[in-house]
Chains A and B, each alone.
Chain A
Amino acid sequence: MTHLDAELKKLKIDMLEMFGLVLSQLNKSKNALVQFDKDLAREVLVNEKRVNGFELKIDRDCENIIALLNPLAVDLRFVLACMKINSNLERVGDIAEGICQFVLNIKLELEKELLEKTRLIEMFDTSSIILNDVMTAFELEDTRLARSVFKKDEILDEINMNANESVGEFIKTHLDRINQSLYTLSMIRKLERVGDQCKNISEEIIFYIEAKVLKHKPLSQKEDMSGEEN
């Protein structure tokens, strides 16, 4: 294995660790909310510092690889993709942190009815699945799996679209729960962003493996496996 190969392999292992860390932050934030576990929420806040530290480390590693080892072609795209995925992941970490901050702020446990109506749990689960998918796609260099994310993200979009209405309805009947209803709405907005970050990650994965730029393309083109770049 060449020096560059060794460094790229290390970078990939670090990236997967970053993925795992962020995924666990997201799952923990869900559990903190569902179980209304404020200790768990605090743990997520503490771990966020680790995520930030990891982001800086990966950035530095990428910088060193580019400065010292002059990667080219697929290697260069890989390093560039890692830098971008890295900041996407850090954002997801921020979102998990934000949700846990809400958990600490909310005084009463969320109403079951509210959760069901807004499909918040489903949203958590879906975003977790999507993040898991992009991680697997990154690990296995599976662009088909990466492309599947664009479709799954539509579920998050749909839940997000309906959120205003469902939260509004809930408030009508539970005027004493306005505060937590608004927090719920904010969480939905945040989780919708997780889907967007994952889509960006997918685009970066496809960029480095297939050298195709999918940014700002309509969904139909993104999902087309055989399609020429245009």
Chain B
Amino acid sequence: MHKIESKNVELYYGSFHALKGINMTIEKNTVTALIGPSGCGKSTFLRLFNRMNDLIDGVRIEGSCLIDGKDIYSKEVRIEELRKRVGMVFQKPNPFPKTIFENVAYGLRVNGISHATFIEERVERSLKQAALWDEVKDKLKKSAMELSGGQQQRLCIARALAIEPSVILMDEPASALDPISTAKIEELIYELKSQYTIMIVTHNMQQAGRVSDTTAFFYLGELVEYDSTKKIFTNPTEIRTQNYITGRFG
């Protein structure tokens, strides 16, 4: 069974056909990069899997999206339960204006966990996983807004990890960060894949190369090519893919 699967997914924003018959399967514990020019549908595709597209008025989705073999758009699925299993990291670091501790504990609290020691342990573990613990362990009660951009983004990753998702979606997680912070996030992604299945949208070709096992190239709402990152980056099948990754258009 594939970890993630999309079958003939069509998505419309009103009359705009944003995703055209996407078929894709993603295996467990891999990093999949979604690349393509702006407006190609890669972010929309990413947001299918925690149903963030549902927040936009006038979205219509056809086909099916499966995680662990179950259709996440079926009536029985509670959207909050789904989002607990599918974490998300956004383009701009967006910690809540709360303390560092409360940011990480947030997901636990809204999911009804109130046991203090349990929360403390989970916060510490998540911050360690996100390689942030050593930098913040003495100021957990300080506002998250005092952290640097790169630290904030790792905090957001820790926040997503705290509720123990099995899938993590990342929407250009390093595009607003400096090179050093970017490198840290990339290393983090590389390490996290032993425990999570990760999908990452990126505009940065080199980043896709560095972090991902498989790469999907989207263009005008279509999945043009989906293959191992090595194949895509050294010998893509489609001429459109080659033109894009070599920077000849897009």
A68 contacts B233, C-beta separation under 8 Å: yes
A64 contacts B230, C-beta separation under 8 Å: yes
A3 contacts B187, C-beta separation under 8 Å: yes
Q: A2 vs B183: C-alpha distance in the bound complex, in angstroms? A: 9
- In the complex, how many angstroms separate the beta carbon of A57 from the nearest chain B beta carbon? 13
Please tell me which one of the listed residues B206, B211, B234 contacts residue A64 in the complex, with CB atoms under 8 A apart.
B234
Please name all residues of chain B whose beta carbon is closer than 8 Å to the beta carbon of A67 when the two chains form the complex: 209, 230, 233-234
Q: Majority SS of interface residues in chain A?
A: helix
Please name all residues of chain A whose beta carbon is closer than 8 Å to the beta carbon of B186 when the two chains form the complex: 3
Q: A3-B210, A63-B234 are known contacts. Are A68 and B190 too (CB-CB below 8 A)?
A: no
- In the complex, how many angstroms separate the beta carbon of A141 from the nearest chain B beta carbon? 24
Q: A2 vs B209: C-alpha distance in the bound complex, in angstroms? A: 14
**In the assembled complex, A69 has its CB within 8 A of some CB on chain B:** yes
Please name all residues of chain B whose beta carbon is closer than 8 Å to the beta carbon of A64 when the two chains form the complex: 230, 233-234
Q: A3 vs B191: C-alpha distance in the bound complex, in angstroms? A: 9
Please name all residues of chain B whose beta carbon is closer than 8 Å to the beta carbon of A63 when the two chains form the complex: 234
B234 contacts A69, C-beta separation under 8 Å: no
Please tell me which one of the listed residues B187, B206, B229, B234 contacts residue A70 in the complex, with CB atoms under 8 A apart.
B206
Q: A68-B210, A70-B209 are known contacts. Are A2 and B187 too (CB-CB below 8 A)?
A: yes
Q: A186 vs B43: C-alpha distance in the bound complex, in angstroms? A: 65
A68 contacts B187, C-beta separation under 8 Å: no
Q: Closest B-chain residue to A1, C-beta based?
A: B187
Q: Closest A-chain residue to B190, C-beta based?
A: A3
Q: A63 vs B209: C-alpha distance in the bound complex, in angstroms? A: 12
Instruction: Mark B190-218 against chain A: 1 for CB-CB distance below 8 A, else 0.
Output: 10000000000000001001110000000
A70 contacts B210, C-beta separation under 8 Å: yes
Please name all residues of chain A whose beta carbon is closer than 8 Å to the beta carbon of B229 when the two chains form the complex: 68
Q: A3 vs B229: C-alpha distance in the bound complex, in angstroms? A: 15
- In the complex, how many angstroms separate the beta carbon of B191 from the nearest chain A beta carbon? 9
Binding site for A on B (CB under 8 A): 183, 186-187, 190, 206, 209-211, 229-230, 233-234
The 5 A-B residue pairs with the shortest CB-CB distance, nearest first, are A68-B209, A67-B233, A3-B190, A67-B234, A64-B230
Known: A69-B209, A70-B206. 10 other contacts (CB 8 A): A2-B183, A2-B187, A3-B187, A3-B211, A4-B210, A64-B233, A64-B234, A67-B233, A68-B229, A70-B210
Please list 10 pairs of residues, one from A and one from B, whose beta carbons are closer than 8 Å in the complex, sorted by A's number.
Answer: A2-B183, A2-B190, A3-B190, A3-B210, A64-B233, A64-B234, A67-B230, A68-B210, A69-B210, A70-B210
